[in-house]
């Protein structure tokens, strides 16, 4: 349950700046500030990942794992980043793929301010085992190139399964802090992706890719757009080269990641 006496105010600009950083040496201090701020705000523990699809844990500038060394998950049963199937089995991870706003969850469901029917179909059996917690407030963090980070906030009492009061009070503040921290981490640790920032697809390339993503063949796309099949293939191939993609599927995936498939022509 939410402990009385915790503040429900939004974080100050100074506190937000304290969880941001611009060099590897700032990761550890910012993580400590995030941990302490969350505890002061709502009395919850912090668990953060920059990529729900990766087993590589977040580390400070010296290589120490933040989850254990800063956020205190040291017991064998709580080392969630070492569970190989977590990205495939955790209902929390599944929810982060279909929800962008903070939510809280337990074995009875996912609770949001606005309804999301995509959350209603997520399998909740053995929630405690598969989520590795009885309940959590979760902030999904959707990042460039389709990467998804997440911050989970957990009760210090392992069996506590009602975080509704803490969610109502602190969800927005937790989201501001978590996003500032994770976005900084991703920028500081990211490997360069040359050329992706300056990619520009033509209207025809986008049209062809959008229909391809809808499952249409080159011949069908040609009929829809009034083009020759070979012309459709040319436009898709041209987009593939620009996106440095190895095949049609990867071309559509990268185009979607960069927002081209949602463009209005």
For 53-69, the pLDDT digits (tens) are 888 899 999 999 999 99
- pLDDT tens sequence across 167-207: 999 999 999 999 999 999 999 998 766 566 678 999 999 99
Query: Do both 109 and 152 map to the same domain?
Result: yes
- Tell me which residue range forms the domain holding 183: 13-189
Q: Which parts of 47-190 fold into alpha helices (H)?
A: 66-69, 86-89, 91-98, 117-120, 127-131, 164-189
Which residue among 164, 189, 214 closes a domain? 189
Of the listed ranges 14-28, 67-81, 193-207, 210-224, the one predicted with least confidence:
193-207
User: What does the alpha-carbon distance between residue 191 and residue 145 come to, in Å, rounded to a whole number?
Assistant: 12
- Measured N-to-C along each axis, helices 229-243 and 248-257 cross at an angle, to the nearest 10 degrees, of 60
C-alpha dihedral sign at 256, 258, 261, 262? positive
Q: Which of 189, 223, 248 is the last residue of a domain?
A: 189
Number of domains in the chain: 2
Phi-psi label, residue 223: left if phi above 0, alpha if psi -120 to 50, beta otherwise: alpha
Same domain, yes or no: 144 and 200? no
Q: Model pTM? A: 0.80
In a domain, 8, yes or no: no
- Using an 8 Å Cβ cutoff, are 31 and 71 in contact? yes
Over residues 130-151, the pLDDT tens digits come to 999 999 999 999 998 778 999 9
Give the Cα separation of 79 and 148 in Å (integer): 20
Are 39 and 65 in a shared domain? yes
Instruction: Evaluate whether residue 3 is within a structural domain.
Output: no
Can you give the pLDDT at residue 2? 61
Same domain, 47 and 170: yes
Q: What is the CATH number of the domain that holds 135?
A: 3.30.450.80
Tokens representing 60 are 């400070």
> Which DSSP state fits 80?
G
Q: Are residues 128 and 205 in the same domain?
A: no
Assign residue 235 the CATH number of its domain: 1.10.10.10
CA gap 1, 128 in Å, rounded: 17
Residues 218, 243, single domain; the answer is yes
pLDDT at 264 over 60: no
3-state SS assignment for residue 247 = coil
- Pick from 167, 189, 211: which residue ends a domain? 189
Residue 4 domain flag: no
pLDDT confidence band for 4 (50 / 70 / 90): low
Q: Report yes or no on 263 lying in a domain.
A: no
6 lies in a domain?
no
Torsion of CA 70, 74, 79, 82, to 10 degrees: 80
Which residue reads 């053995």 in tokens? 126
Residue 213 and residue 161 share a domain:
no
Cβ-based neighbours of 132, under 8 Å, separated by 6 or more:
78, 80, 83, 86, 90
Structure tokens at 144: 């460039």
Evaluate whether residue 265 is within a structural domain. Answer: no
């Amino acid at each position: 349950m939410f402990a009385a006496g915790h503040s429900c105010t939004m974080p100050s600009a100074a506190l937000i700046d304290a969880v941001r950083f611009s060099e590897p040496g700032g990761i550890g201090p910012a993580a400590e500030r995030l941990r302490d701020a969350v505890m002061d705000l709502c009395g919850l523990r912090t668990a953060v990942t920059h990529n729900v699809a990766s087993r590589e844990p977040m580390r400070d500038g010296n290589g120490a794992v933040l989850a254990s060394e800063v956020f205190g998950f040291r017991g064998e049963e709580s080392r969630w980043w070492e569970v190989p199937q977590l990205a495939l089995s955790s209902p929390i991870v599944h929810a982060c793929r279909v929800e962008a706003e903070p939510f809280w969850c337990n074995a009875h469901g996912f609770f949001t301010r606005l309804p999301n029917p995509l959350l209603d179909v997520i399998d909740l059996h053995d929630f405690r085992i598969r989520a590795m917690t009885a309940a959590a407030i979760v902030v999904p963090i959707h990042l460039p190139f389709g990467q998804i980070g997440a911050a989970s906030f957990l009760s210090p009492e392992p069996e506590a399964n009602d975080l509704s009061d803490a969610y109502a009070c602190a969800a927005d503040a937790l989201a501001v802090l978590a996003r500032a921290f994770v976005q900084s981490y991703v920028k500081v640790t990211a490997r360069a992706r040359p050329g992706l920032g300056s990619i520009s697809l033509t209207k025809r390339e986008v049209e062809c890719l959008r229909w391809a993503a809808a499952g249409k063949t080159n011949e069908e796309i040609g009929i829809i757009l009034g083009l020759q099949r070979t012309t459709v293939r040319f436009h898709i191939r041209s987009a593939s080269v620009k996106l440095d993609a190895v095949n049609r599927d990867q071309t559509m995936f990268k185009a979607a990641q960069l927002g081209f498939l949602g463009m209005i022509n």
